[in-house]
Amino acid sequence: MLELKKVSTYYGNIQAVRDIDLRVEEGEIITLIGANGAGKTTTLMSISGIVPPKRGEILFRGRPIHGLSPDRIVALGICQVPEGRHIFPDLTVAENLDMGAFLRRDRKEVARDLEYVYSLFPILRERRNQPGGNLSGGEQQMLAISRALMARPQLLLLDEPSMGLAPLVTRQIFEIIRQINREQNTTIFLVEQNANLALKVADRGYVLETGRITMHDRADALRANKDVQRAYLGI
Amino acid sequence: MLSFKDFGRACVVALWFMVLTFPLMVIKVNPIDRVITWRWHNMVWVGVGSFLCYLASRAWQIHRDARLRRIRLGQEEEKEPLSRRILQNPSIYRPLLAAGALFFLAFPGLFSTYQTNIMITALMYVVLGLGLNIVVGVAGLLDLGYVAFYAVGAYAYALLNLHFGLGFWTVLPIGGLLAATFGILLGFPVLRLRGDYLAIVTLGFGEIIRLILENWNEFSHGPSGISNIPRPGFFGIQMSLDQSITYLYYLMIGMVLFTIFVVNRLQNSRIGRAWFALREDEIACQAMGIDKTRTKLTAFALGATWAGMVGVIFAAKTTFVNPASFTFLESAIILCIVVLGGMGSIVGVIIAALVLILLPEYLRAFSEYRMLVFGAVLVIMMVFRPQGIVANIRKTYRVEEG
Ligand SMILES: Nc1ncnc2c1ncn2[C@@H]1O[C@H](COP(=O)(O)OP(=O)(O)OP(=O)(O)O)[C@@H](O)[C@H]1O
Ligand SMILES: [Mg+2]
């Protein structure tokens, strides 16, 4: 579904991502794990076009999307939940969700999707008239995921959904990520620090070290790998 | 209640103000008789006045804090702000609106031509404020060079009339379009800038336009400006000066209504929501598929359009334009209107424009002190109501539920 070929991305002269090759198949959950500053966020930003790559190709369903503007890429069905949530603090929860459907014109379907995300996260329905900035961190993460779902993406890019959340809330969110993948058949690209949980929900995983992919395998195989265990699982 | 400490503070404040205003209020030099009059009684007034003012403001502050504490403890209901209570209760605002409408319709009949002229100016600033409100209040792009678009409109009429004999009604839309084009021209280089940097570049842009007008003599006739610009015509009927001022007044009323209608529609449209979202979080906007470039450029263009059209009206009203009318001070005043009115609030901007333009005019009675009073009003506003006259009551839009 998505293919990255020798993608390199820079911030000015600093190269954050080096010649990355990566594939995502239809309907799977893949995860990209790595230490702080490895370039995980940058990889996602390159895919969504917010920080376009300098070299290399990104193909979505065989069609090159590198060089397209972010809004065109969203229109093609790739939606990102940015790191640190980035909800609109002064807009209400309902308005935040509505912004997610900004590019859509099918009001009926949008209303259906709204019901769906409210059923995933009932707390959001309760809070729908409150400003997004008043939500707790976990609720904001739920809102950020829901907002992205409102765009009805075929590929959902999630950047550290567990950041700053209590273990219980994290597990709940990962459960729902799996549910979205199953029920909506949404392909999911998950970036995580919490390698343990990420490798449990994912089908396949990639390991990123200082801008390079150093390993990729089935998730259970990575979990069994001695190097990965030592570096990322704390075993 | 007021404590002993407050009285002590009040004394200090009074002393401070007495020292501060000493040169202005006490010493009076008479250069003809070569004598200095010492007006000590003024010092007493300043002292007593600032003492009482300080105590009054303290009392108010204590009262407010006590109420906030009771609200926090749940002993008292939180009151809706007065402006909101008025704006959301039809039985209050309908009669107010009707009275206001009647007043403005009857204005030229009730007052002299001089007053009507002042009111026309105030109405022009209402439109300018509403236009800048799109850029600064709604989209959150701090634009300090707004007056440039006003100048573009005014010179568009002056020059097109001079060289091609185009009339007011032809140039009005042309001026708007031209200003919009300039808005986009300014928009492109500043797309990546935010906050302070954006403010500096827009400030520079405003000055560039003014300097071009001042120095490019062949094009704009330089500092001496262009005169004999015709007033707006009305199906070729000859009008006396009084009549044409009355005519311009009603034209301006129409213009204000048109602006309110369009700006209100814009704010509640898709693009309005995009502006609002862009002001809140750019990365989130991009992730949601909002075209950042187009959204910003439309904000600049649609904001500038109003300044362009008012510029045309300005040229027609004064029948004379020169670069001195388009200094940074103008931009600052228009920005004051937006900030004072409460960023993003249409009603607030209208009230602020009327107050800010009419106040100095009617303070002329206090001639030399009027700028002082004007400044004091601004400072007091910012201390007591930093959120503006009408705290932004954004209409939260309804989201359809299935
Ligand atoms: N806006 C930026 N400007 C310059 N350098 C940046 C910028 N953003 C990231 N970098 C650099 O690029 C590299 C990769 O950063 P990136 O944010 O992709 O890491 P990450 O894997 O997401 O880390 P984390 O787990 O901490 O979020 C880092 O060395 C970082 O310093
Ligand atoms: Mg990151």
C-beta of residue A50 within 8 angstroms of C-beta of residue A66: no
Low-confidence ranges of chain A (pLDDT < 70): 235
- Quote the CA–CA distance of B219 and B151 in Å, as a whole number: 14
Q: Which residues of B56-79 are buried (b: 16+ CB within 10 A; e: fewer)?
A: eebeeeeeeeeeeeeeeeeeeeee
Query: From the CB of A15, is ligand 1 less than 6 Å away?
Result: no
Per-residue pLDDT tens digits for B185-201 = 988 888 878 778 888 99
C-beta atoms of A79 and B289 within 8 A: yes
C-beta atoms of A91 and B291 within 8 A: no
C-beta of residue B213 within 8 angstroms of C-beta of residue B159: no
CATH number for position A216: 3.40.50.300
| Ligand 1 atom closest to the CA of A43, numbered from 1 | 18
| pTM exceeds 0.95, yes or no | no
C-beta atoms of A107 and B400 within 8 A: yes
Q: Which residue of A has its CA nearest to B290?
A: A71
C-beta atoms of B287 and A74 within 8 A: yes
List all residues 6 or more positions away from B101 whose beta carbon is below 8 Å from its beta carbon.
none
The shortest C-alpha distance from B117 to chain A (Å) reads 41
Count how many residues are written for chain A: 235
Mean residue pLDDT of chain A comes to 92
Predicted local distance difference test score (pLDDT) of residue A231: 83
Share of chain B above pLDDT 90, in %: 37
ipTM of the complex: 0.89
Place of tokens 């940074």: B328
Q: How many domains does chain A have?
A: 1
Q: Which helix (H) or strand (E) holds B60?
A: helix B40-73
Q: Which residue of B has its CA nearest to A114?
A: B401
Report residues near ion ligand 2: CB below 5 Å: A 41, 83
Q: Which residue of B has its CA nearest to A106?
A: B400
Q: Which chain A positions have a beta carbon within 8 Å of B273's beta carbon?
A: 95, 98-99, 102
Mean residue pLDDT of chain B comes to 86
Per-residue pLDDT tens digits for B150-186 = 999 999 999 999 999 888 999 999 999 999 999 999 8
Q: Which residue of A has its CA nearest to B292?
A: A71
The torsion region of residue A55 among left (phi > 0), alpha (psi -120 to 50) and beta comes to beta
Q: Encoding tokens for residue A194?
A: 């919490």
Q: Encoding tokens for residue A138?
A: 């976990």
C-beta atoms of B400 and A110 within 8 A: yes
Using CB atoms within 10 A of its CB, is residue B86 exposed (0-12), middle (13-18) or buried (19+)?
A: middle
- Quote the CA–CA distance of A161 and B248 in Å, as a whole number: 60
Per-residue pLDDT tens digits for A125-166 = 999 888 998 899 899 999 999 999 999 999 999 999 998 889
Q: Which residues of B231-245 are buried (b: 16+ CB within 10 A; e: fewer)?
A: bbeeeeeeeeeeebb
The DSSP output letter for A92 is B
C-beta atoms of A102 and B280 within 8 A: no
Centroid of ligand 1 to alpha carbon of A165 (angstroms): 21
* Closest listed residue to residue B202, CA positions, set B310, B328, B323, B113: B328
The shortest C-alpha distance from A115 to chain B (Å) reads 7
* Closest listed residue to residue B377, CA positions, set B347, B350, B348, B356: B356
| Ligand 1 atom closest to the CA of A39, numbered from 1 | 18
Q: In the predicted model, is pLDDT for residue B395 greater than 80?
A: no
C-beta of residue B234 within 8 angstroms of C-beta of residue B247: yes
Place of tokens 């800048």: B132
Distance of alpha carbon B62 from the chain centroid: 32
The shortest C-alpha distance from B393 to chain A (Å) reads 12
Q: Which residue of B has its CA nearest to A125?
A: B401
C-beta atoms of B288 and A151 within 8 A: yes
Average pLDDT over residues B41-52: 89
**pLDDT grade for B402, boundaries at 50, 70 and 90:** very low
Predicted local distance difference test score (pLDDT) of residue B22: 86
Q: In the predicted model, is pLDDT for residue B399 greater than 60?
A: no
Centroid of ligand 2 to alpha carbon of B152 (angstroms): 46
Q: Which of B138, B399, B400, B401 to mutate to test the interface with A (most CBs of A within 10 A)?
A: B399
Predicted local distance difference test score (pLDDT) of residue B340: 84
Q: Sign of dihedral through CA atoms A89, A95, A96, A100?
A: negative
Average pLDDT over residues B352-381: 76
- Quote the CA–CA distance of A69 and A109 in Å, as a whole number: 25
Query: From the CB of A42, is ligand 1 less than 6 Å away?
Result: yes
Domain range for A213: 2-233
Q: Which residues of B117-152 are buried (b: 16+ CB within 10 A; e: fewer)?
A: bbbbbbbbbbbbbbbbbbbbbbbbbbbbbbbbbbbb
Predicted local distance difference test score (pLDDT) of residue B389: 67
Candidates A49, A87, A112; nearest CB to B402? A112
Per-residue pLDDT tens digits for B215-274 = 998 888 888 889 888 888 777 677 788 888 899 999 999 999 999 999 999 988 889 989
Average pLDDT over residues B366-370: 67
| Ligand 1 atom closest to the CA of A17, numbered from 1 | 14
Does any CB of chain A come closer than 8 Å to the CB of residue B395? Answer: no
Query: From the CB of A37, is ligand 1 less than 6 Å away?
Result: yes
- CA-atom Rg of chain B in angstroms: 24
Within 254-273 of B, beta carbons closer than 8 Å to A belong to 270, 273
- Quote the CA–CA distance of B335 and B330 in Å, as a whole number: 9
Centroid of ligand 2 to alpha carbon of A115 (angstroms): 31
Q: Which helix (H) or strand (E) holds B169?
A: helix B168-187
- Quote the CA–CA distance of A152 and A148 in Å, as a whole number: 7
Predicted local distance difference test score (pLDDT) of residue B42: 85
Q: Which helix (H) or strand (E) holds A23?
A: strand A14-24
Average pLDDT over residues B101-112: 87
C-beta atoms of A147 and B290 within 8 A: no
Does any CB of chain A come closer than 8 Å to the CB of residue B397? Answer: yes
Least confident range from B139-143, B193-197, B331-335, B370-374: namely: B370-374
- Quote the CA–CA distance of B249 and A46 in Å, as a whole number: 56
Within 12-31 of A, beta carbons closer than 8 Å to B belong to none
Query: From the CB of A16, is ligand 1 less than 6 Å away?
Result: yes
Q: Please provide the DSSP assignment of B98-127 as one string.
A: HHHHHHHHHHHHHS-HHHHHHHHHHHHHHH
Q: Which of A46, A48, A85, A95 to mutate to test the interface with B (most CBs of B within 10 A)?
A: A95
Per-residue pLDDT tens digits for A149-160 = 999 999 999 999
Q: Which chain A positions have a beta carbon within 8 Å of B402's beta carbon?
A: 108, 111-112, 114-115
Q: Which of A18, A32, A41, A83 to mutate to test the pocket of ligand 1 (most atoms within 8 A of CB)?
A: A41
Average pLDDT over residues B50-62: 89
Considering all CA atoms of chain B, what is the largest pairwise distance in Å, rounded to the nearest integer?
A: 85
Are β-strands B226-227 and A212-218 bridged in parallel, bridged antiparallel, or unpaired? unpaired
Domain boundaries, chain B: 4-72, 111-384
Predicted local distance difference test score (pLDDT) of residue B396: 55
- Quote the CA–CA distance of B122 and B76 in Å, as a whole number: 41
- Quote the CA–CA distance of A151 and A153 in Å, as a whole number: 6
C-beta atoms of B400 and A147 within 8 A: no
